[in-house]
Structure 1
Amino acid sequence: MSLATPGGRAARASSHTDFVVEQLGRAIVAGEYPSETMIPLDPDLCEMFDVSRTVVREAKKTLIAKGLIQSKAKVGTHVRDAEAWNMFDEDVLRWHAGLRNAGAFYDELFEMRLIFEPAAAGQAALRTNARGCDRLFRLADALAAAPGRADFAVADYEFHREVLRLSGNRFLLSLGDMVQTALYALFLAEAQRFFPEGAQTVAARHRDIAAAICHGDAAAARRSMRRVIEDGYARVNGGSRV
């Protein structure tokens, strides 16, 4: 977009702001700026990224909103403790998933999944319907027939999202949507460890979930979902979680 185009200047500034947010956000999540350390001063950031002070200020506002940094007058801007970061922010999740060593992040993600996904599967079994069951089995078939890792990861995510939808709980569905980026990255990481050799086994385990839900067996649905999550943890980490 040319600067002569209406809105061109604003679009260019926004693009520069996004770039600074991306670079600083990735660096903070990667630990290049540890907790409680100061990030460079505005003039230094301007020089570092070749942008204006306005761009730097907007980028810092965005990172403050994500919980990564805090700015204090006459003190400067420091990185907040990781416990304060908004882990449901799409960018924060993406930056974590992109770490070379994302083990700790995936550990926490698995813990969260074990808390809500088996419960969602149990609820889905109590609210089963023919259309939802058909979709679950189609997605399990898509896992078995996936031509590549990315397709497998997409089918995996869609299966788990359908279980959340069938639970009938909008909070659970929204939670799955919020961590979509992280879940896809996780499923892709799992697929890289076993695809295509283990695809049929994984598909069969997902069919077990579908069968339990469609038979209205909440206890079996919870057990089957827990097994799938724990199997995934073992594939990513090379060992069982329990």
Structure 2
Amino acid sequence: MVAKPATRLSIAEHLAEAIFSGRYQPGELVPRELDLCERFAINRSAVRSDLRQLVDVGIIERISGHGSKVREYSEWHILDPQVTDWMARYAAPNPQIQREILTFRLDVEPYVAMTAARRAKARDLVAIEEAFEGLGQNLRSASCAEERRLHSECDVAFHVAIFKATHNIVWAQLSHILRPSIHLLVSMSNESASDPEESLERHRQLMESIRMRRPREAFLAAQAVLAGTADALGLEPGAGSLGGSALVEAKSQVDLEG
């Protein structure tokens, strides 16, 4: 039997982990090609090929005579499947990326919830309710890592079902692309939430406002859910957030209810 050749270490994967976790910040240079060749014992053409993967998705740029520099977050192709995969796997320690995802969700999801309240059909309501039921069941029995994972999966499914309930093909497709980034915040906030039962109640209110066809209440309920996420993660939205003041207001309401 002929042995399969060993798969070489991906420099793209190594650098993606370092960049997404925050070890290399926007504006900083990553190691030079020759340094990477020596460190990982691979030839220069292989290193260049891997660096090209990061260039193609906007994460780094090549600067003649200087090396490769991490680009600003606004230049990253954040909806590219490879980038969202790296984000889900490596960005957990990076509060700046978490904040960018939170800001995006705050600016978008209340409007998605409002649209879902207007357009959801019976099968959409069933999907939202099934995800909510799974959320509650796994919350009450979340005594091990696997149950906590299932809890987070149900939480993500809940939000994805709301995107799909808009019956807008763009939102529906975005729900698939955004799933890893939503999962990143959901899993981290579920781990650090001080009162999971309160979070479950905020999700229930969002579900009910959609089921009862109350768009304004759905909008506010989605803000409250995200306020709870922000509070659990200790994050504030960026200065450019369209919904920054709304989040402060929603968080204040969450604090009062708590």
Query: Which band: TM-score by shorter chain?
Result: 0.7 to 0.9
Corresponding residue number in structure 1 for 2:34? 43
The 8 Å contact of residues 97 and 182 in structure 1, kept in 2 or not, is answered as: no
Task: Name which of 201, 204, 207 aligns with 1:207.
Answer: 204
Distance 1:189 1:63 in 2: 26
Corresponding residue number in structure 2 for 1:185? 184
Residues 117 and 45 of structure 1: CA distance in aligned 2, closer, same or farther (over 3 Å): same
* Counterpart AA for 1:227: A
Q: Give the TM-score normalised by structure 1.
A: 0.83
- Report the count of equivalent residues: 229
Displacement of 1:53 in angstroms is 2.1
Corresponding residue number in structure 2 for 1:25? 16
Task: Provide Cα deviations, 1:188-218, integer angstroms capped at 9, x if missing partner.
Answer: 1111123xx7343323322222221122111
* 1:172 and 2:171 matched: yes
Displacement of 1:136 in angstroms is 1.4
Task: Name which of 91, 95, 100 aligns with 1:97.
Answer: 91
Distance 1:157 1:141 in 2: 13
> After the TM superposition, which of the residue ranges 220-229 and 63-72 deviates more from structure 2?
63-72
Corresponding residue number in structure 2 for 1:128? 120
Residues 128 and 78 of structure 1: CA distance in aligned 2, closer, same or farther (over 3 Å): closer
Residues 40 and 134 of structure 1: CA distance in aligned 2, closer, same or farther (over 3 Å): closer
Corresponding residue number in structure 1 for 2:213? 216
* Counterpart AA for 2:116: A
Q: Give the TM-score normalised by structure 2.
A: 0.78
Query: Identity across aligned pairs (percent)?
Result: 22
The 8 Å contact of residues 116 and 172 in structure 1, kept in 2 or not, is answered as: no
Corresponding residue number in structure 2 for 1:59? 50
1:73-92 equivalent positions in 2, closer than 5 A? 73-88=64-79, 89-92=83-86
The 8 Å contact of residues 120 and 167 in structure 2, kept in 1 or not, is answered as: no
Distance 2:205 2:24 in 1: 45
CA RMSD of aligned residues (A): 2.6
The gaps in structure 1 that reach 5 residues or longer are: none
The 8 Å contact of residues 20 and 91 in structure 2, kept in 1 or not, is answered as: no
Distance 1:203 1:75 in 2: 51
* Counterpart AA for 1:90: T
The 8 Å contact of residues 99 and 235 in structure 2, kept in 1 or not, is answered as: no
Residues 110 and 36 of structure 1: CA distance in aligned 2, closer, same or farther (over 3 Å): closer
Displacement of 1:2 in angstroms is 5.6
* Counterpart AA for 2:171: L
Corresponding residue number in structure 1 for 2:103? 111
